[in-house]
Amino acid sequence: MTGVRTRTFSALRGPSVPRGPFPWWSDGLLALAILAISLVHSDRISAAQLALNIALVLPLPWRRRAPVPIFALIAAVAVVQWVVLVPAFADSALLVAFYTVAVASEPRVTAALGVAMELGIVFAATRSVSGSEQWLRAFIGVSGLAVAAGVLGINVRHRRHTLSGLRERAERLELEREQELALARVTERSRIARELHDVVAHNLSVMVALCDGAAYHVQDAPERVSSALEHASRTGRQALSEMRQLLGVLRDAPAVPEFAPQPGIGQIHDLVEQVRAAGVPVSYSVTGQPGGVPAGLELATYRIVQEALTNTMKHAGPGARASVELTCSGERITIEVRDTGTLRRPPRQGGAGLRGMRERAAVYGGELDAGPCEQGGWRVSTSLGDLVTAVR
């Protein structure tokens, strides 16, 4: 109840008025126009009429700043004019002030002042007109002007509120669109960064291992050096090709678009052979056949195996062996990568590689488990495909 009274008193004190495109001096010109018409309308004007006309139009330049107080002030001057029975055409300033109230104030304020204005019209008609027929004509004519001013002001108010609501909605939609674009950009950049990390880290690790092996056997086994360098060259070209494809999406208008299938479960065998060529013995087994697995799930499987083997080459140390086991059951794939490394690994939270594997697993409803084994070495395991089944 207190909140209602506070809002009502605030509206009566002086509501916030849209200034519109017109400056304050336009209301001053309006006041001068009404005053000029009132002077021309009267053949002979007395000092009292001139004073009342001026008093009626004088507050009009401030009508937009304080509609209710200006209306009350003009209404008080009009009552004085009706009491002393001095006719003044400047009474029309009261209609302008009432219109401004209807534009700027809440409906209940407009209705209350409209009732007060009707009472004043009844009083003025009774004081200035004799005869019931003339009184009725005068009352209907002036009341019609007052109602027209109020209705016009209310329509303008509703129109302004509608336009304001549409403008706010458009601004809100624009802000939401910008936020969605920013989120999409961040997501896409994270995806590209993850892909680049997987491609660069794995291929560079393989190339470093091959070059180290070649340097180790340069004296005693030249034929192995030649094979290692050939594998390193092939790995480098493959890395450049994959990087070119990934970086191509960053260009606004590539001159010649390049299309190539993303790696999947079928390419894991080549990946294992690549790691074997780098000097790490790897065993690979697949149980079951994937049925209807989406390309994205196959890519996630490939990248997780790739990153796990990359970590083996980087952290397991010399003499380490690795094993890759895939278990396919319909649309569900279980991945387990183990190695026999003895070197200390990164913390369980890991860096970009482990974080990327966890993100890929989470996309398909999996939770990555990466950590040391009880018997030694390192184990990475996850099960993917829950999200695919849920969506379908």
Read off the pLDDT of residues 53-103 as tens digits, 9 standing for 90 and up: 888 888 888 888 888 998 888 888 888 877 776 666 677 888 888 898 989
- What is the per-residue pLDDT for 363? 83
- What is the per-residue pLDDT for 323? 92
Give the model's confidence band at 249: pLDDT under 50 very low, under 70 low, under 90 confident, else very high.
low
Q: Are 63 and 100 in contact (CB under 8 A)?
A: yes
**What is the maximum alpha-carbon separation in the chain?**
133
Give the model's confidence band at 262: pLDDT under 50 very low, under 70 low, under 90 confident, else very high.
confident
Q: Name the residue among 43, 178, 166, 353 with its Cα closest to residue 337.
A: 353
Q: Flag the least confident range among 20-24, 88-92, 306-310, 361-365.
A: 20-24
Q: What is the mean pLDDT of residues 258-270?
A: 75
**What span, in angstroms and rounded, lies between the C-alpha atoms of 14 and 119?**
23
- What is the per-residue pLDDT for 28? 80
Q: Flag the least confident range among 154-158, 171-175, 256-260, 269-273.
A: 256-260
Q: Name the residue among 360, 368, 365 with its Cα closest to residue 336.
A: 368
- pLDDT greater than 50 at residue 14: no
- What is the per-residue pLDDT for 336? 92
Q: Are 303 and 360 in contact (CB under 8 A)?
A: yes
Q: Flag the least confident range among 110-114, 202-206, 268-272.
A: 202-206
DSSP 33-72: HHHHHHHHH-SS--HHHHHHHHHHHTTGGGTTT-HHHHHH
Give the model's confidence band at 7: pLDDT under 50 very low, under 70 low, under 90 confident, else very high.
very low
Q: Flag the least confident range among 89-93, 105-109, 169-173, 381-385.
A: 89-93
- What is the per-residue pLDDT for 253? 46
Q: What is the mean pLDDT of residues 251-269?
A: 65
Q: Are 134 and 159 in contact (CB under 8 A)?
A: no
Give the model's confidence band at 5: pLDDT under 50 very low, under 70 low, under 90 confident, else very high.
very low
Q: Flag the least confident range among 7-21, 42-56, 325-339.
A: 7-21
Read off the pLDDT of residues 208-241 as tens digits, 9 standing for 90 and up: 777 777 776 666 776 667 777 777 777 777 777 6
Distances (CA, A) of 351 to 171, 229, 344, 359: 40, 30, 14, 12
Handedness of CA 141, 142, 147, 149 (dihedral sign): positive
pTM: 0.46
Cβ contacts of 141 within 8 Å, gap of 6 or more: none
Read off the pLDDT of residues 350-381 as tens digits, 9 standing for 90 and up: 567 788 788 888 888 888 888 888 778 888 99
* Residues above pLDDT 90, as percent of the chain: 3
- pLDDT greater than 50 at residue 321: yes
Read off the pLDDT of residues 180-190 as tens digits, 9 standing for 90 and up: 888 888 877 77
- What is the per-residue pLDDT for 337? 92
The mean pLDDT of the chain is: 77
Tokens of 241: 């090709």
Give the model's confidence band at 192: pLDDT under 50 very low, under 70 low, under 90 confident, else very high.
confident
Q: What is the mean pLDDT of residues 104-109?
A: 87
* E strands, the chain, in order: 282-287, 322-329, 332-339, 369-372, 378-384
Distances (CA, A) of 125 to 45, 70, 82, 276, 320: 22, 23, 9, 109, 109
Q: Are 362 and 349 in contact (CB under 8 A)?
A: no
Element (H, E) at 358: helix 352-363
Where on the phi/psi map is residue 368: left (φ > 0), alpha (ψ -120 to 50), or beta?
beta
**What span, in angstroms and rounded, lies between the C-alpha atoms of 42 and 330?**
99
Q: Name the residue among 241, 236, 309, 324 with its Cα closest to residue 279.
A: 309
Residue 336 β-bridge partners: 325, 381
